[in-house]
Amino acid sequence: MRLERAELRVVSLPLLKPFRTSFGVVADKTFVLLRVFSEGLEGVAEGVMDARPQYREETIAGALALLQDAVLPEVLGLEWANAESLMRHLAGLRGNRMALGLIEMAFWDLHARSLGVPLSTLLGGVRNAVEVGVSLGIQASVEATVDTAVRHAEQGYRRIKLKIEPGWDVKVVRAVRAALPETPVTVDANAAYTLAHLNVLRELDTLGLDYIEQPLAWNDLRDHAKLQALMHTPLCLDECITTAQDARTALETAACRLVNIKVGRVGGHLEARRVHDVAASFNAPVWCGGMLESGVGRAHNIHLATLENFTKPGDTSSSSRYWARDIVHEPLETVNGVMPVPPGPGTGVTLDLPFLDSVTRWRTEIAAPARSAVSSP
């Protein structure tokens, strides 16, 4: 397919409730949206970089500059047979997985639409619905956390994940475990602890958690390996894993026993599938993480999570938990903790353009550059 032109937007959507983690509070979710166009069709993807580099090091400003000034002009106007050939062309670029992933994911959506098949089919998915849990931000009190955890368990969500940070951990986890003895419960520290917190981490180890997500530094596999050796509870890495090579190193060194795969974080579906395959070769389960995505990113997550080794519930819960109104027409809602794959070609979601325009803060179009001769990469 020849990529004819692209559009970049920065969109800001108000969350129904602010989401608090160990690294800050999000009240409005601001994200990059990329649309690529070919032969009357479009592919769409959502970036997971933030304005401030507090989850990983990539930023919205950095991604926009890289995409509009360097990478999009390089790939527009040319013919790409598939996502593999497109990404081979960009293989020499270091890092910037979230920014490059935007192009990759938008291309997959476009490609699947051109073939008239769901993205999950093209990716090799094996399910038409995926099991999900919820990720609960840090709440105002232990009682409020127990209430919301119980409410979500009653709605059928398959796992309750609690955000923790030093000072907000053992007590709240104990209370939720007591209220929900049968429901799988996990915690996510978003890198807020160090080995100096070993006593607290050892206490968490006694609470029957399914796993502990990213307890230590975002870029430190070594200390995670030391910690895993001291713990019964499996560790799951999120921030640390941006490539399949990271996943191999982490699993080989026993820095974790399972991996949270976020398609945006690892640079697209191809790399996500590689991480998935690496984990499978270690008999390590994977699950699909979330980044408070709108319907666009949410739909990409759902399609990815249909791959075989996504055996733990993901974070892609109902859209209506996040937004009063989403930027896509199709509702993405769970039934008893199960999220159906949106039917239809590509991601199966379509943009509500008037509403999208109303929440767009910035927009630019990128045309294919003039090329001197008919060229192909």
Q: Which residues are catalytic?
A: 163, 262
Sole window of 77-85, 171-179, 285-293, 364-372 interacting with ligand OSB (rule: CB under 6 A): 285-293
Out of Mg ion, ligand OSB, none, which partner does residue 290 contact, by CB within 5 to 8 A per kind? Answer: ligand OSB
Angle between helices 97-115 and 269-281 (to 10 degrees): 100
Cα distance between residue 349 and residue 195, in whole Å: 44
Short-list 118, 62, 117, 119, CA closest to 272: 119
Instruction: Return the residues of window 175-194 that contact ligand OSB according to CB under 6 A.
Output: 188, 190
Amino acid at 254: A
Residue 47 vs 345, nearer CB to ligand OSB: 47
315 lies in the binding site for Mg ion (CB under 5 A)? no
CB 103 within 8 A of CB 87: no
Residues of span 28-67 touching ligand OSB by CB under 6 A: 55
| Cα 171 to Cα 100: distance, rounded to the nearest angstrom | 41
Give 98-150 as a DSSP string. Answer: HHHHHHHHHHHHHHHHHHTSBHHHHHT---SEEEB-EEEPP-SSHHHHHHHHH
- The residues in 166-195 that bind Mg ion, with binding defined as CB under 5 A, are 188
Q: Least CB distance from residue 298 to ligand OSB, whole Å? A: 8
Count of residues engaged in binding ligand OSB, rule: CB under 6 A: 10
Residue 322 DSSP label = T
Does residue number 238 form part of the binding site for ligand OSB (CB under 6 A)?
A: yes
User: Looking at 60, 71, 275, 292, which residue binds ligand OSB (CB under 6 A)?
Assistant: 292
Name the minimum Å distance from CB 33 to ligand OSB: 16
Residue 295 interacting with ligand OSB (CB under 6 A)? no
293 binds Mg ion (CB under 5 A): no
CB nearer ligand OSB, residue 290 or residue 295: 290
149 vs 131: CA distance, rounded Å: 17
Alpha carbon distance 185, 178 (integer Å): 11
Nearest one of 116, 32, 19, 24 to 67, comparing CA atoms = 32
Among Mg ion, ligand OSB, none, partner that 345 touches (CB below 5 to 8 angstroms by kind): none
Shortest distance (Å) from residue 213 CB to ligand OSB: 7
Of positions 22, 135, 294, 319, contacts ligand OSB by CB under 6 A: 135
Contact between 109 and Mg ion by CB under 5 A: the answer reads no
Using only C-alpha atoms, what is the Rg of the chain?
20
Residues within the interface to ligand OSB (CB under 6 A): 55, 135, 188, 190, 238, 289-292, 315
Positions touching Mg ion (CB under 5 A) are 188, 213, 238
